[in-house]
Amino acid sequence: MDQFDKAFTMILTGWLAYEIFVSVKLFGMWSKEKEKAISINLYHIVYLLIMAVLVTLSFANGHLPTASFVLFLLCSVLCVPSLMRVFTPDKLIVANPRSGWNIPAKNVSYEYTQGKLIKETLVLHYKDDDRTDKFNLGVQNQKLITILNDNYKKHGCSNPLLKEDK
């Protein structure tokens, strides 16, 4: 292994440690919730799959050490839970160790839009932030729709799913 391979392996080891920490924390939080619904963005999954294919090809051509290859694949698998959003009746559980793992439901608004490739897209808007998140897998889950509807009624907002509110 040359210096670059050693440095890359060390970076991947740090990433793996972080993903293990985040995954354990998320699974612990998810297991405590009785009523929950999960949504994820398909494009994030496709991106991870493309990266895994490229790294596999690099490994197959002898350009990547075995340790780095295995670490990258482990990191990719453990990265999936951090891409998910778990909706509960009172909060949104996210993988964000810096600013908190829970976002109160009253600080999140949503709308359903038509996506380009996948028709139904759930767009989340955060009160304290100008950013938005888009999700397209699991957005038609009846449990998710019910949780979002109940949150809107509870916090006095209009529900974008109901035609009479539009």
**165: pLDDT strictly greater than 50:** no
- The predicted model scores a pTM of 0.77
Q: What is the pLDDT of residue 158?
A: 52
**163: pLDDT strictly greater than 50:** no
Mean pLDDT, the chain, rounded, equals: 83
Per residue in 32-54, pLDDT tens?
Answer: 988 888 888 888 889 999 999 99
Question: In angstroms, what CA-CA distances link 79 with 62, 115, 141, 146?
Answer: 25, 24, 23, 28
Per residue in 119-132, pLDDT tens?
Answer: 788 888 888 777 78
Round to whole Å and give the CA distance between 137 and 85: 11
Q: What is the pLDDT of residue 18?
A: 93
Q: Sign of the C-alpha dihedral, residues 153, 157, 158, 161? A: negative
With vertex at residue 157, the alpha carbon angle to CA 151 and CA 159, rounded to the nearest 5 degrees, is: 75
